Chain A
C-alpha cells in the first residue's frame, strides 16, 4: 500500500529541514508559498525522518505504522491521547493480538542478538548481561536510594514486572530468585527452543548486574533450574557495603 504524506500548512514554519532529511526526495520546497510540497509521494518508504525532524510536528503519514508495536510504551501512548483528546491515536495499545505479535517479534530479535553475542564473544557473553544490568541500575528511575538490600529487591520486582514476575527469598547469604511469567519462556516453548540457553543466561546476568550495582553486593550463581511453570536461580551473595 502506498504511504500518504501530509503537511499541515498552518503549522509548518518553512524551515526546509524535511526536504534535506528525506533520503528519497519526497519533498520539494515551494519558495513562494514558503512550504514543502509532497512531490514524489510514492518514493516514501516510511522511515519517518521527516516526521521526527519537523520542529512543528506538521507532517503526518497515512497507511504506515509509525513504528513496531513492541517499541511503544502503553503509558506514553495513553498519555499522548490524553494530551490531545478528540484526536485518534495511531497505535492501538489495547489490542491483545497486536501485543502478542509485538512481544513475539521482540523475542525473536533478542534470541538472534544472544546468538550473535555468543558467536562473537564466546565465554565473555554473560558479561554483556551484567554490564546491561549495571547500566540499568544507574538509569533506574527512583525516588530515593534504597536503604537496605530488601528494598533493592522490592525495587527490582517493580522494575522488571510485568515482563517478568519475580519472587525473591533470602536466607542468610542465600538468595533464591523465582520467575513465573516470562515472555522468553513463552516464546521458547512456542518455537521449541530449549530453556536455559543464552538468552536465559543473559537475563540472569542482567538481573544480577542490576542487583549488584543497586545493592552494593557481589552475586555468585550456584544453580539455575529452568522449568515450564517457573525458573529458579540459587545465588550466594557477598556484602560490599554496609547499610
Chain B
C-alpha cells in the first residue's frame, strides 16, 4: 500500500513545496510509492486527512499557523519540519528581532509610497513572534534547506519509509563543494562580497566570508559550485548544533585566519557587526540564540 503524505504551509514562501515539484520526472517515481492526500498549494483542501508522513513548511507566525501545525501533528504519524523556516524560523524568523509594532510602522507609514497612520483595520492579530514549529509540536525529523534540495526530499521520505541505503548525512556544505581550500598570504577581508574571482579556490582562502563550513549540507553545494559564497540557508552544521561553545562566527573566523593572514579578531568583529546578514536563517531558533557565544540582539542593535 502506498504511504500517505500530507503537507501544510505556514509562514514561509511555498518554495519547499515547489522543490517537491522540482523532483521533475523523479516525482512520478516517488508517486509510485507515496500518495499525496493533502497539498494546499496544489489541491483544494479537505481538512486534515490521516497520513503516514506530514511535511510542514514555514514558521509559526499567527494563531492560524499554530492551529494548523497542531492539526497536522494530530493527523500524521511522522512529522517533518520541512525547510529552514520550519526548523529554525528561516528568513521569516528575522521578525523575531522586532515587536510587531516596529514592523507595522515601517510597512504602513514608513515608506516612500505610504502615508502615515494607515494601518489596516481589523486585520488578524499576529503571534508576538515568529517561532520554529518544534516550539509548538513534537517534530520527528528536521529537513532544513531553503529549500531542501529535491534529492534530500526524496531521501528523507525514503528514510521515513525505512528504505535501505537512504541516508541523511551529517556533513557540511564543504563536503559537497568542489573548491580547493588553500593557504594564502596577502589576502584581505572582502567585506560585503558574495563571490570571488578564482572559481576553483575556496572562498575563505580568497578573503570572502562563506558559511559553507558551518552549514549542514542539504543542498548539494549548488551555490558555491556555481560561484556564490554560502549564506548558510540550511542552518547550522551538526557541530554548531551540538557543541554550545562552537558558533558560526568563531568557527568561520578561526578557519579563515588559518587559511589566510587575515586577523581572526577582524573577521569575528565583522561577522558580529553584520550579524543580521550572517545569522539571518536561524537566529530565531534557540539552537543559535541560546548559545553563550552569541549575542544576536546586541550585535544587531535591536533591544
Contact = CB atoms under 8 A, between A and B. Distances in A.
A153 interface: no
B287 A76 contact: yes
B5 to A, nearest CB: 16
B172 A87 contact: no
Contacts of A21: 258
B177 A139 contact: no
B144 A83 contact: yes
B24 interface: no
B168 A87 contact: yes
B: contact size bracket = 35 or more
Interface residues of A, number: 40
Given A13-B181, A14-B181, A55-B172, A138 B212 contact: no
B289 A141 contact: yes
Given A17-B258, A52-B239, A139 B295 contact: yes
Contacts of A82: 81, 139-142
A73 B289 CA distance: 13
Contacts of A71: 244
A27 to B, nearest CB: 14
A56 B159 contact: no
B74 interface: no
A73 B290 contact: yes
B265 interface: no
B28 interface: no
B287 A85 contact: no
Nearest to A83: B142
Interface in A1-52: 8, 10-17, 20-21, 51-52
A243 interface: no
Contacts of A13: 174-175, 177, 179-181, 202
Contacts of A66: 242-243
A10 B175 contact: yes
B271 to A, nearest CB: 16
Contacts of A20: 258
A76 B175 contact: no
A87 B129 CA distance: 33
Interface in A81-123: 82-87
Contact of A57 (B239, B254, B297): B239
Interface in A139-183: 139, 141, 143-145
Contacts of A16: 181, 183
Interface in B162-193: 166-172, 174-175, 177, 179-183
B238 interface: yes
B128 interface: yes
B298 interface: yes
A200 interface: no
Contact of B169 (A14, A15, A84, A141): A84
Q: Which of A20, A53, A79, A83 has the most chain B CB atoms inside 10 A of its CB?
A: A83
B290 A141 contact: yes
Nearest to A60: B170
A83 B175 contact: no
Given A55-B255, A82-B139, 5 more contacts: A52-B243, A84-B168, A139-B295, A141-B286, A145-B99
Interface of A: 8, 10-17, 20-21, 51-53, 55-58, 66-67, 71-73, 75-77, 79-80, 82-87, 138-139, 141, 143-145
6 contacts: A53-B255, A56-B174, A57-B238, A76-B241, A141-B286, A145-B99
